[in-house]
Chain A
Amino acid sequence: MTESRVTTHHTITALVEDKPGVLNRIVSMFRRRNYNIASLAVGHSEMPGMSRMTFVVECDFSILHLVTNNLDKLVEVIEVDNISENNSISRELALVKVKFSNDSAKDELMRLVSHIDNTKILSISKNEIILEIIDNEDRIESSVDLLFYNRGPSNVRIEIKEPNKVKVSNDDFYELVEIMRTGVVAMDYELDAKFNKEINN
């Protein structure tokens, strides 16, 4: 998680034909050319029979144009765009499953979540909570850090042996058991764009 931030991340989107094997062709090209995909998201587009993909690729600039040209070369890839970080919005959704030891740990977790804008509770059961975080990649990671790893000055401790476990008091804890992420989707905007105050672009 920390190591990947050292490398430069580039976001590429592609409009592709929605045919069997197209994903295989694309990832095969990445593997064959030794390009590294950090994140990949696929879904239907506004056009029937076409999908849009968003790739986050770890590489330097000299490789970036080779990645886009090799993508564009694939017969079923219709359009490739290199999304600039400066004028684009990117979003990812993370589902986070948390187990807790007892109600006091649950209350502590819920209290924390209520202070984090991008995070909400989707379900609560006897032993677990499922959270949803929607934001850009970095801020999803910040929220996860805030909840589980980097609580700042407090009496809460993380056991080295069990890094996902957060101690609320001596015997009470909550624990991150699973994160599922969709991969980043991104869209560029015009230079005169104004933003909803609630939204961090």
Chain B
Amino acid sequence: MKIEGRQIVCKSLIREGCNTIFGIPGGAILPLYQSLPEFPELRHILTRHEQGASHAADAYARVTGKAGVAFATSGPGATNLVTGIATAQMDSVPMVVITGQVSAKVLGSDAFQEVDITGITLPITKHNFLVMDATEISRVIKEAFFIATTGRPGPVLVDITRNAFLQECDYDADPQIDLPGYSKRSSFEVSSLIHEASDLINSSKRPVILAGHGISISGAHKELIDLAEKAQIPVITTLLGISCFPEDHALWAGWPGMHGLAHSSLAIDESDLIIALGMRFDDRITGDTTRFATNAKKIHVEIDPSEINKNVTVEVPIIGDVKQVLSVLNDLIEDKTHNDWLSRIAKLEEDHPSLTIPKSSKLLGREVVKKLSDITKGEAIIVTGVGQHQMWAAQHYRFKKPNTFLSSGGSGTMGYEVPAALGAQVGKPDALVWSIAGDGGFQMTLSELATIVENKLPVKIAILNNGFLGMVRQWQEVVFKGAYVATEYSGNPDFVLLAEAYGIKGIRVTSKDQIEDAIKEANAHPGPVLVDFVTEKEENVYPMIPSGQSVNEMIEEPIIEYVP
């Protein structure tokens, strides 16, 4: 029986396990939208901006482990997705994005709402497809999901011309993938390198594990704990690795880098072995690579061969899925203790405290995060934007459960916080989702408040409102001698009134003694809540390793009294 291309899209999505789509309709993709009522298995969440759809799909993927799916129409609909696609690409998040395209017969004629979205997204997708014939749709969607979710995950865009949605053909329910150049590379081949790795681990005196996003992606949480406990190795995570290892564990040793915890960066500097698992030695971690961890040999377990020796040269590279690698490696590791080394790290933490909140009568952003962490017992899903509030969230929230810290780590996308929180809540309807936002990033995508209301999502939003693009202001203070250029937000709206305009409960907090009550009130409220924390304007994030520097140039918090 012949069916139309648009029906094939829906059937193929359902076949690949999709049940949720974030998107906005428009001319070129309209035929597909008109088919959605036929397929009640597919829940469509109508966002207010395509960027919101892409971030929501990204967060949905991060909390569920399934590929997030977003729809947009041609032209501006497609280009509005770009920031979200780039964000997912940088953080290895599986997404399948379907865009409508003008009809094949006018392709290339600069038709209304035509844009070369496969060209535009070529460097920011894992792969993309242009489909002009309905007979290809079933296979291409299967390939798109396969590519997005296997190996090192990433976003895949499928651009489908309008005529293909309406063309009739047979539906192939079980198409054969035809990707001769794509190996998913998740099967890891045991070689002598694994013995080199275990020898290094067994003989090291001051080892650290540097655990990245790959732990969460491959679901290697248990293997990581096993490795750490067996040889008593401290676990430092990357920013995106946060929540992959329980932060109440005795072996948890923080996260390092530009605004990471001081003792974590110092421990890496003093270590004799770094066991890097599913991470990519990002510049925010290494700073000046020539001065990064110069005393340490490095084992790098990574699924993407192009990450090996990209930023940092390593002694033992092991290509493979980190869960599979650890399941072999852990058997070769001897039971050990590193008491001296663990005491040394404890001493470093004592001498270089990063989490002390200064005594102050003022409302400090980090104190909000600390209270939120205490009240939610570290069990909420925390979604952040980018900037000071993001760093405080990473520093002061003590994460206990995997996949509970959602943040744009690689791309540093402000505006992620609201749409990603809604996507996370859709993916985990029963979880407590808190978006920790800055007043800058919040205003980039606040239109998704309407989507939150429309879908009755009980998302809680904490705006750490300092009236500044706070991190940029901090750089201006530290690097540019206090010359504040274009960083003050003097025209902020009344965020409580704004929330109420959307039908969202709004709470304003202006003094520190109101923090706890506000958080508790928000948690107790069944629907969405926005809390406007009017915080100290010029609070800084410490420690700070200026860009391109090393741990030797780390600036720790000066003794500042935040007195009124």
Contact of A76 among B181, B309, B313 (CB under 8 A): B181
Q: Does A160 interact with chain B (Cβ within 8 Å)?
A: no
Does residue B118 face the partner (Cβ distance < 8 Å to A)? yes
Known A16-B181, A28-B123, A75-B127; contact A69-B118, beta-carbon cutoff 8 A = no
Is A24 touching B119 in the complex (CB atoms < 8 A)? yes
Instruction: Spot the interface stretch: B15-23, B300-308, B376-384.
Output: B300-308
Evaluate contact between B181 and A70: CB separation under 8 angstroms.
no
Residues A32 and B123 in contact, CB atoms below 8 Å apart:
yes
B180 at the interface (CB under 8 A from A): yes
Partner of A25, one of B122, B182, B304, B310: B122
B310 CB contacts on chain A under 8 angstroms = 66
A residues less than 8 Å from B123 (CB atoms): 28-29, 32
In the complex formed, the residue of A with least CB distance to B126 is A75
Which residues of chain A are within 8 angstroms of B147 by Cβ–Cβ distance?
A: 75
Report Cα–Cα, A128/B308, bound state, in Å: 53
Given that A16-B181, A17-B180, A17-B181 are contacting pairs, would A73 and B122 also be in contact in the complex, using a CB cutoff of 8 Å?
no
Whether the Cβ atoms of B306 and A70 lie closer than 8 Å is yes
Is A24 touching B122 in the complex (CB atoms < 8 A)? Answer: yes
Contact between A66 and B306, CB atoms less than 8 A apart: yes
Say yes or no: A21 contacts B118, CB within 8 Å: yes
Q: How many A-B residue pairs have CB under 8 A?
A: 42
* Closest-CB distance, B178 to chain A (whole angstroms): 9
Min distance, Cβ A97 to any Cβ of chain B, angstroms: 34
**Residues of A contacting B313 in the complex (Cβ-Cβ under 8 angstroms):** 62
Q: Of B130, B182, B309, which contacts A62 at CB under 8 A?
A: B309
**Interface members, chain B 259-312 (any A CB < 8 Å):** 304-306, 308-310
| Residue on B nearest A16 in the bound complex, by CB | B181
Contacts of A25 in B (CB 8 A): 122
**Which chain A residues numbered 59 to 107 have a C-beta less than 8 Å away from chain B?**
62, 65-66, 69-70, 72-79
Q: Which residues of B contact A24 (CB under 8 A)?
A: 119, 122
Cα–Cα distance between A66 and B312 once the two chains are bound (Å): 12
Could you tell me the distance in whole angstroms from the C-beta of A73 to the nearest C-beta in chain B? 5
Mask, B171-205, CB within 8 Å of A = 1, is: 00000000111100000000000000000000000
- Chain B contact-residue range equals 10 to 19
- CB-CB under 8 A from B130, the residues of chain A are 20-21
Between A24, A25, A70, A73, the greatest number of chain B beta carbons within 10 A of the residue's beta carbon is seen for: A73
Least CB distance, A199 to chain B, in whole angstroms: 33
B184: shortest Cβ distance to chain A, in Å? 11
Interface string of B103-140 (1 = CB under 8 A from A): 00000000000000011001100110010000000000
Are A75 and B179 neighbours in the complex by a CB distance under 8 Å? yes
| Contact pattern, B 48-78, Cβ under 8 Å of A = 1, otherwise 0 | 0000000000000000000000000000000
A70 nearest CB neighbor, chain B only = B306
A66-B310, A73-B306 as given contacts; A28 in contact with B122, CB under 8 Å = yes
Contacts of B309 in A (CB 8 A): 62, 65-66
**In-complex Cβ contact of A73 among B118, B119, B180, B304 (8 A):** B304
Contacts of A66 in B (CB 8 A): 306, 309-310
Pick the residue among A16, A69, A78 that contacts B308 (CB under 8 A): A69
Residues of A within 8 A of B122 (CB): 21, 24-25, 28
Chain B residues contacting A16 (CB-CB under 8 Å) are 181
B126: chain A residues within 8 A (beta carbon): 75
Q: How far is the CB of A42 from chain B (nearest CB, A)?
A: 15
Question: Is there an interface contact between A74 and B181, defined as CB atoms closer than 8 Å?
Answer: yes
> What is the minimal beta-carbon distance from A117 to any residue of chain B, in angstroms?
40
CB distance from A48 to the nearest CB of B (A): 12
CA distance A78 to B178 in the complex (A): 12
**Smallest CB-CB A-B distances: 5 pairs:** A69-B306, A78-B181, A75-B127, A69-B305, A75-B182
Interface residues of B (CB under 8 A from A): 118-119, 122-123, 126-127, 130, 147, 179-182, 304-306, 308-310, 313
Assuming A24-B122, A75-B147, what are 9 further A-B pairs, CB within 8 angstroms?
A21-B122, A21-B130, A24-B119, A25-B122, A28-B122, A28-B123, A65-B309, A66-B309, A76-B181
